[in-house]
Chain A
Amino acid sequence: MDAFFEVENVVREFRPPVTLGDKIAARLGAKVEMRSVKAVNDVSLTLEKGKTLGLVGESGCGKSTLGKVAAGILAPTAGTVLLDGKPVMTDGRKQTTRVQTVFQDPFASLDPRMKVGDAVAEGPIEHGLVTRADARAYVLDWFARVGLDPSYANRYPHQFSGGQRQRIAIARALAMQPDLLICDEPVASLDVSIQAQVINLFLDLRRDLDLTCLFISHDLSVVRHVSDRVAVMYLGRIVEEAPTEALFEAPAHPYTRALIASIPKLVLNRETLVEFDPIAGEIPSPLSPPPGCYFAPRCPLAADRCRETAPDLRTTENGRRVACYFPVSTRGAD
C-alpha cells in the first residue's frame, strides 16, 4: 500500500548535550545517566492526497515536533517520512520542496530585515519555479490570492498585523507550489476574530489548489472544522485516529473523551451551562513516563493491565485506530 504521505514508526528523541564533566565521569567508570525525552514515540500516520489530517493534543504532547519531522525540519531519530514513496529527508537534509510549512507565530517566522515580497520570492527563485525577471509578478499574484494588497510587497514585516503576517507566511509557503502543507498552530497566535478569516482563506486555498494538509492545533473546534480525519496525540504517542465526525461524535479513547469534554461550551440552557470538565491530573514527566499506558495515571477506567504494558494502536471499525484496552463502545456512532 503506497499512501501519498506516510509517517512510519517515527521516533524523535531529544537528549541534553553531554558535558565535559559527564564524559570524564564516564571515562572514570562512573555511571552517567543518559536522560532523553522521546517527544515523538513510534508514530505512524498516513495521509491520502487532497485530505486534511488534524493533529490535536495538549501543550507538550509532541505534536509540533511531529510536524517538524513531517516537514523535514527535524530529522527523525528512527523511522521514515515518505512523500509519494520518497523520503522527505535523507542524511539530515530536506530533499523536496513539495512539503512546506506555515509556522505558529507569524511575528517570529518572517525575517524582520527582509521585505515581505522578497521573502515570498526567495524560495521560488532559488528552486527555479520562477525566473528572477518574473518573480515580481509572481509574488504580486500570490499577495492577491491570500487577500493582501499587492502594493504591500515592498513593506517590512513590522508594518503588518498578526493576521496579515500569517497571510504572508501562507503566501510564502504556497508560492513554493507544495503538494503537502504542514500547518503548525497557524491561528493559535491570532485574535479570535482574525482566526476565522485566516481559516476561511486556508479552506479556499486548499480547495483551489487541491492541497493535502497536516493541520496541527490544540483548538478542537478549529480542527473539527478543517479536518477529514483527526489524530489525537498524548505524550508522544497517537492514542486515537478516526474520521473527524466519528471521533467527535463517539470518541473511543478515554483521553479523547476527556479532551472533548473539556471544551468549554457556551450554552444558553441552564442544565448544560456548566458542561466543562478539565482533565484531572497533569501530563506525566516525559523524562520518566509511566511504564504502561501513558494515560493510565489520569484515566478513570485504568486497570492493572494498563499500568503494566502499553496497549498497541489497533484498528477497530470504520478505519478507526485506538490504543486502549477498554475502548469506549463506538457503536451507534453512525
Chain B
Amino acid sequence: MSASDTQSPLRLFWREFSENKFAVGSLVVVVLLAVVAFLAPLLVPQDPYNLELLSLLDARRPPGFVGSGGYVHVLGTDPQGRDLLSAIFYGLRISIIIGLAAGAIALVLGTIVGIFAAYAGGWIETVLMRVIDLQLSFPAILLALVLVALLGQGKGQLIAALVAAQYAYFARTAYGAAKAERRKDYVEAALATPLAGYKVAVRHLLPNCMPPLIVVATVQIANAISLEATLSFLGLGLPVTEPSLGMLISNGFPYMMSGRYWISVFPGIALIILIVAINVVGDQIRDQFNPRLRK
C-alpha cells in the first residue's frame, strides 16, 4: 500500500471544504487579491508612493481620465493626483501584510500564553487569565488607538498595537481548547510514558488545539485589516506618504457630497471584498470544525 491511503486530517478537511462552492470562490478571491497586492509594482501604471510622479493637475479626476502621465486613470485619481487603481493595489498590499503579520504574531503569542496558562494551572493560570479577561473587556479599537498614539506612526508600531489588542482573543481560545484537551486520555497516556510536560504540550496539546485557533485566526486577520483601516481613516495609522485603504477612504471623504464619489468608494469596495471574502472562508472553516453541524 502506498502513502496515498493515508487520510490525513488536512486532506479530509479540504475535501469537505471544496463542497462549498461559495467558500471556494471566496478563497479564490482572497488568493487573487493577495497575488494582485504582491505583484502591484508590476501591474499598475504608477508608484503612488513616489511623490515626484504626482501632479496636482491630475487631482480628483474621474474614472477614465487621461492624465499628464499619458495613461488612463481607470478608477480616477485622489486629491493628491494619485492614480486610484495603483493606490488601491498598493493599499491592499499594506492591508494584507499588516493583517497577516498582526494575525500571525497574535496567534503565536496568544497560543503560547493560553496553553501555558492551561498547562501550568494554579495561581499562574488565575493571574494570566484574569489579565486576559480584563483586556477583553476593553474594545480592541480603544486599546489600539491608545497604543498607536503612544508608539507613534509606522508599520511596526501599527502591527505591535494590533497584536496587543488581539492576542487576548487567541489566548482565550487556546486556553479553552487546551483545558478541554488536557483531560483527555491521550494526554494522560503521553504523560504516563513518561514524557516531559512541555513536550506533551507541544506535540499533543498544540496540534489538537489548532482547529479553533485557525477559525479565530481567519476572523482576526479580517479584524486586523479593518482595525488598520479604521485607524488610518482616523489619521492614526500610517504616514500620509504611504496611503492605505483606510486613508484613501478618508482622503475622499470631504468630496463625497460634491459628486467625486470614486475617491472613497473604490477603496471602500476593495476593502469590503477583501474582508467579506476572508470572513466567508473563516465561516466555512468554523462550520467544518463545529461537531453539531457535521453531517
List residues of A whose CB falls within 8 A of some B CB: 71-73, 93-94, 97, 100-101, 103-105, 108-115, 122-123, 126-127, 149, 151, 154-156, 158-159, 169, 172, 176
Q: Which of B5, B9, B191, B195 contacts A122 (CB 8 A)?
A: B195
Q: Which of B185, B194, B204 contacts A114 (CB 8 A)?
A: B204
Question: Which residue of A is nearest B192, CB measured?
Answer: A73
Q: Is the CB of B6 within 8 A of A109?
A: no
The secondary-structure label for the interface of chain B is helix
Q: Is the CB of B203 within 8 A of A155?
A: no
Rounded to whole angstroms, the CA-CA distance of A207 and B96 in the bound complex is: 63
Q: Is the CB of B5 within 8 A of A111?
A: no
Q: List 25 A-B contacts (CB under 8 A).
A: A71-B192, A73-B191, A93-B194, A94-B194, A97-B193, A104-B185, A108-B185, A108-B186, A109-B185, A110-B189, A111-B190, A111-B208, A112-B186, A113-B9, A113-B208, A114-B207, A122-B193, A123-B193, A126-B193, A126-B195, A126-B199, A151-B1, A154-B6, A155-B5, A169-B189
Q: Is the CB of A156 within 8 A of B184?
A: no
List residues of B whose CB falls within 8 A of some A CB: 1, 3, 5-9, 184-186, 188-195, 199, 203-204, 207-208
Provide the residues of chain B in CB contact with A101, threshold 8 Å: 189, 192
Q: Is the CB of B199 within 8 A of A94?
A: no
Question: Which residue of A is nearest B209, CB measured?
Answer: A113
Question: Which residue of B is nearest A94, CB measured?
Answer: B194
Question: Which residue of B is nearest A101, CB measured?
Answer: B192
Given contacts A72-B194, A111-B204, A122-B203, contact A103 B8 (CB under 8 A): no
The secondary-structure label for the interface of chain A is loop
Rounded to whole angstroms, the CA-CA distance of A240 and B5 in the bound complex is: 51
Q: Which of A97, A110, A111, A151 contacts B194 (CB 8 A)?
A: A97
Given contacts A72-B194, A114-B207, A122-B190, contact A105 B9 (CB under 8 A): no
3 smallest A-B Cβ distances: which pairs?
A: A108-B185, A109-B185, A94-B194
Rounded to whole angstroms, the CA-CA distance of A111 and B193 in the bound complex is: 14
Q: Is the CB of A156 within 8 A of B7?
A: yes
Q: Is the CB of A156 within 8 A of B193?
A: no
Q: Is the CB of A103 within 8 A of B189?
A: yes
Provide the residues of chain B in CB contact with A103, threshold 8 Å: 185, 188-189
Given contacts A105-B185, A109-B186, contact A156 B207 (CB under 8 A): no
* Residue of B9, B184, B188, B193 with most chain A CB atoms under a 10 A cut-off: B193
Provide the residues of chain B in CB contact with A158, threshold 8 Å: 7
Question: Which residue of A is nearest B194, CB measured?
Answer: A94
Provide the residues of chain A in CB contact with B6, threshold 8 Å: 115, 154-156
Rounded to whole angstroms, the CA-CA distance of A127 and B195 in the bound complex is: 9
Question: Which residue of B is nearest A151, CB measured?
Answer: B1
Q: Which of A108, A109, A123 contacts B195 (CB 8 A)?
A: A123
For the complex formed, measure the closest distance between the CB of B226 and the CB atoms of chain A, giving whole angstroms: 32
Question: Which residue of A is nearest B199, CB measured?
Answer: A126
Rounded to whole angstroms, the CA-CA distance of A105 and B188 in the bound complex is: 12
Rounded to whole angstroms, the CA-CA distance of A154 and B7 in the bound complex is: 9
Rounded to whole angstroms, the CA-CA distance of A255 and B189 in the bound complex is: 33
Provide the residues of chain A in CB contact with B207, threshold 8 Å: 111, 113-114
Q: Which of A114, A122, A159, A172 contacts B7 (CB 8 A)?
A: A159
Provide the residues of chain B in CB contact with A104, threshold 8 Å: 185
Provide the residues of chain B in CB contact with A73, threshold 8 Å: 188, 191-192
Provide the residues of chain B in CB contact with A112, threshold 8 Å: 9, 186, 208
Given contacts A122-B203, A126-B193, contact A111 B186 (CB under 8 A): yes
Question: Which residue of A is nearest B6, CB measured?
Answer: A154
Rounded to whole angstroms, the CA-CA distance of A97 and B194 in the bound complex is: 7
